[in-house]
Amino acid sequence: MRSFAAHSRPTAGIAGRRHPGVRLALAYCLFALIATVANIASQELSLLFYRGAGDFPAAVAVGTIVGLVVKYVLDKKYIFAFRTIDAGEDARLFVIYTCMGVITTLIFWGFEFAFDRAFQTKVARYFGAVVGLAIGYWLKYQLDKRFVFRRADD
């Protein structure tokens, strides 16, 4: 199966020559952490600006969008070392990336909402979010490697 980005040029990745798997895994974890912090910080900011009906689901949606964009930029450039030809190709790639994230987002939301419902504290809710994001990011890497950031010769 070829991706929309079949004509894209790979760049030098973060993996390097020595211990590429370890460096890649550490970088991926760091970027997942950065996206997680962006997600949760965006949720908190959203809740600072809006309190009312549907404030929690709205905050989760805002955080999800912010985390998605941050993670896409970092993954594309540093994890998969992928360069797109133009903005149109980048947009198509982002759509595929986002589609792969639907399943992982449901996992993340499931954990966050379940912990919120079960424990009804902010700490528990965010703990659930972190657990869900960790599981989701692991699965997302597997999906992105196989279906999104593919080279023409794959």
pLDDT (tens digit per residue) in 129-150: 889 988 988 898 889 989 898 8
Residue 62 lies in a domain: yes
CA 120 to chain CA centroid, nearest Å: 26
Residue 4 lies in a domain: no
pLDDT reported for residue 29: 86
Residue 100 lies in a domain: yes
What residues have CB less than 8 Å from 79, skipping those under 6 apart? 13, 14, 24, 27, 28, 31, 141, 149
Summarize pLDDT for 84-101 with one digit per residue, the tens: 889 998 999 999 999 988
Nearest to 10 by CA among 75, 94, 85, 82: 82
pLDDT reported for residue 43: 94
Residue 151 lies in a domain: no
Provide the CB-side half-sphere exposure for 89 (13 A, CA). 15
Residue 94 lies in a domain: yes
pLDDT reported for residue 72: 95
Residue numbers of the domain that contains 123: 18-146
Residue 12 lies in a domain: no
Residue pLDDT tens, the chain, 154 long: 444 444 454 545 555 556 668 888 889 889 988 998 999 999 999 999 989 898 999 999 999 899 999 999 999 999 999 988 899 989 999 999 999 888 888 998 899 999 999 999 989 998 998 899 889 888 988 899 898 988 666 5
Tracing tokens 């955080």 back to the chain, one arrives at 63
Residue 10 lies in a domain: no
The count of domains in the chain is: 1
User: Which runs of consecutive H residues, i.e. helices, occur in the chain?
Assistant: 20-49, 55-74, 87-119, 122-143
Residue 11 lies in a domain: no
